[in-house]
Structure 1
Amino acid sequence: MAQINPVKWGILGAARIADGAVIPGMINSAHATPVAIGARDLSRAQAMADRHKIARAWGSYDEVLTDPDVEAVYIALPNHLHVEWARRAAEAGKHVLIEKPGAMRADEYAALEGIDPALKVSEAFMVRNQPRWIRLREILRGDEYGAPLTFSSLLSFMMTNDQDFRQKPEWGGGAYYDLGSYTAMAARYVFDAEPRRVMALMQRNAAGIDLFTSVIMDFGDGRQATFMVSLAQASSQSIQIVCERAFITLPQAYVPSRKEPNLIQIDTSADHANSQITTLEFPALDQYEEEITNFSRAIRGEDTPYFDLQDARANAAICDAVFASAESGDWADVKGA
């Protein structure tokens, strides 16, 4: 067996997701080692470094990028800073994993044009690294159940922290940026295609963020996706796919259990009064560890799931259309589709 050469990681930002999810994933992955973390507040960076036994803490993001040991960076900053620091990281010769959404608008990705093509740069949708999501795509690309024709999803939680950056519209706050980016990506993943147009309805609060957004996506050829996302409802997370000859459900679709098996349920009954359910079970897992492992292996040139900036731009183009539709009250074309 070939010896593993772990990728040395730096972290930009002392965010909760880095502290509670991504850094533990790095530590647990045989393919990664966190070696540096930077934050605007050195004390926060040092406290996080101490908790996770990371060698170096810096009081700025630039110091992580000039650290010669750092090969790749994970950007855990508020949404409006993602592209700026992705560009700086790439200019420093680092591979980049950008927390979603990678950008607030599709045209922001122009700032990443011309970077070294040898660098891996990807938007951090950890769910695509779940073994059951990978198996789901294999199933949908096969002929057993026919083509997927409809997709529906719910994703929500109750946001109670008034100081959360998701409360600030100028920082990319709101339900769509935080949750809709996942559901739009999931629909694209299921259909393995880009939507032609979207229709969206948003309910905004006094600060201007969307607390609830409902979207219809038209993929053409009779294929439609619908999803609803909210920051002001009880916790929900589901995906349902109707194929020509099967109804497929993913319970706990986006945040799978780390203790119980994760499931794909396939109902092939042609009668509403009955069911013929086949359940596929996948071991409990840490999907952040899977994400870091796969991205690190991609950096080392291995054949592993990897989604490039073209994929990120496509997801951002849907975001642009969703906001345009919510503003106009009409269908909005997805540019580039």
Structure 2
Amino acid sequence: MTAQNVPVRWGILGASRIADGSILPGLGKSAAGKAVAVAARDETRARTLADRHGVPKAYGSYEALLWDREVEAVYIGLPNHLHVEWARRAAAAGKHVLVEKPGAMRCAEYQALDGVDPALKISEAFMVRHQPRWIELRNILRSGRFGAPKTFSSLLSFFMTNADDFRQKPEFGGGAYYDLGCYTAMAARYVFDAEPRRVLALMDTDEGGIDLFSSVVLDFGQGRHATFMVSLAQASSQSIQIVCERAFITLPQAYVPSRTQPNLILIDTSADHANSQIQTIEFPALDQYEAEVTNFSRAIRGEDVPYFGLADARAGAAVGDAVFASARSGSWIDVKGI
């Protein structure tokens, strides 16, 4: 077996719901990576999670996992306000890092990762970008077959009922934008293959200080606009609609695709409202978390696969900064990185 074919050895920081329900099952099915260690602040909890997924090692501290020389890559599934700190510590320990979204609550926080070894892979964990459907969507848009994309719109919401969820706490990076808006903003940037110039945002916050509803307009220039709404206080919704010069493209179940039914891209090329000429492109049901950890593992081994590094994460955080600044001021805010 060549070095390229040896599965990447992963450590999991945090016994979180997403680690338990998504990342560890994805690694269990991946031929490119395998989990070898789990860490939590409670060793019993770490051992319970490790045993449930057949992982050999369990640690009662995050530091102990980072000292493990067998671990090559670390997944960070901690609450939002801890992401950058532990990404920095993992990189300092020589580990590749897949950090759960949002990678940082503010763009300036990424300065903590300045000077890390450029050989290390560090990526924000937007699993949707590893769907074959999303990859094909970008190929379609870049081909120019239907002309340039001009408008993007998206809805993403669910009704959060757990009062103890960290997403209810502003100091932990709670709220609709950090949990859901980072996805929709990323999707707009992905579709236009560009960064927005300015932002206009409206947020409705609850008495605890988190945004329950956020509506955002991103201006990409050259007549390209993105609009999206995210919420933690309304029924489940997830959609993406893109209007190109010669086609209307829809992604049903855009962010959480079916694991049992085909996933679709719908392309309507009708020239008038009274008719429809819809082409349907089907993709097999999939586990997008398996695709995410597989692609990240393959990128570590030097393969040419979809990979989004720190520059992309910084750009996304700069958009988030502008969104919150606009919501505070009620005005358009230019997007500025660091």
1:68 Cα deviation after fit: 1.1
SS of 1:101 mapped into structure 2: coil
| Other-structure match for 1:113 | 114
| Other-structure match for 1:147 | 148
| Other-structure match for 1:308 | 309
**2: CA distance, partners of 1:304 / 1:261:** 23
| Other-structure match for 2:196 | 195
Q: When the two structures are superposed, what TM-score results if normalisation uses the length of structure 2? A: 0.99
**1: CA distance, partners of 2:337 / 2:220:** 13
1:187 Cα deviation after fit: 0.1
| Other-structure match for 2:23 | 22
**2: CA distance, partners of 1:144 / 1:86:** 40
**1: CA distance, partners of 2:249 / 2:238:** 15
**2: CA distance, partners of 1:64 / 1:280:** 43
- Residue pairs, 1:208-247, within 5 angstroms: 208-247=209-248
Q: Read off the aligned partner of 1:13 and give its amino acid letter.
A: G
1:41 Cα deviation after fit: 1.1
SS of 1:310 mapped into structure 2: helix
1:224 Cα deviation after fit: 0.1
1:271 Cα deviation after fit: 1.0
**1: CA distance, partners of 2:334 / 2:204:** 21
> CA contact under 8 A between 2:314 and 2:337: conserved in structure 1?
no
Number of aligned residue pairs:
337
**2: CA distance, partners of 1:288 / 1:155:** 19
Q: When the two structures are superposed, what TM-score results if normalisation uses the length of structure 1? A: 0.99
| Other-structure match for 2:68 | 67
1:43 Cα deviation after fit: 1.4
- Residue pairs, 1:271-290, within 5 angstroms: 271-290=272-291
**1: CA distance, partners of 2:230 / 2:277:** 30
Q: Read off the aligned partner of 2:31 and give its amino acid letter.
A: A
1:225 Cα deviation after fit: 0.1
Cα-to-partner distance string for 1:227-251 (whole Å, 9 max, x where unaligned): 0000001000000000000000000
1:266 Cα deviation after fit: 0.1
1:154 Cα deviation after fit: 0.1
- Residue pairs, 1:41-60, within 5 angstroms: 41-60=42-61
**2: CA distance, partners of 1:336 / 1:47:** 41
1:336 Cα deviation after fit: 3.6
**2: CA distance, partners of 1:13 / 1:154:** 29
- C-alpha RMSD over aligned residues: 1.0
> CA contact under 8 A between 2:198 and 2:332: conserved in structure 1?
yes
**2: CA distance, partners of 1:144 / 1:131:** 19
1:38 Cα deviation after fit: 0.5
Percentage of pairs with the same residue:
75
Q: Quick check: 1:170 aligned with 2:155? A: no
| Other-structure match for 2:267 | 266
Q: Read off the aligned partner of 2:27 and give its amino acid letter.
A: M
Cα-to-partner distance string for 1:131-162 (whole Å, 9 max, x where unaligned): 01000000000121000000000000000000
Could you list the structure 1 runs, at least 4 aligned residues long, displaced by more than 4 angstroms after superposition: none
Q: Quick check: 1:93 aligned with 2:88? A: no
1:270 Cα deviation after fit: 0.8
1:217 Cα deviation after fit: 0.4
| Other-structure match for 2:318 | 317
Q: Read off the aligned partner of 1:268 and give its amino acid letter.
A: T
SS of 1:62 mapped into structure 2: helix
SS of 2:289 mapped into structure 1: helix
1:4 Cα deviation after fit: 2.0
Unaligned 5+ runs, structure 1: none
Q: Read off the aligned partner of 2:256 and give its amino acid letter.
A: V
Cα-to-partner distance string for 1:99-125 (whole Å, 9 max, x where unaligned): 000000000000000000000000000
Cα-to-partner distance string for 1:32-70 (whole Å, 9 max, x where unaligned): 110001011111111101100110110000011001110
Q: Read off the aligned partner of 1:208 and give its amino acid letter.
A: G
**2: CA distance, partners of 1:4 / 1:262:** 29
| Other-structure match for 1:251 | 252
| Other-structure match for 1:329 | 330
| Other-structure match for 1:184 | 185
SS of 1:152 mapped into structure 2: strand
Q: Quick check: 1:297 aligned with 2:298? A: yes
**2: CA distance, partners of 1:170 / 1:129:** 30
| Other-structure match for 2:80 | 79
**1: CA distance, partners of 2:237 / 2:144:** 31
Unaligned 5+ runs, structure 2: none
Q: Read off the aligned partner of 2:255 and give its amino acid letter.
A: Y
**1: CA distance, partners of 2:312 / 2:157:** 24
Cα-to-partner distance string for 1:238-270 (whole Å, 9 max, x where unaligned): 000000000000000000000000000000001
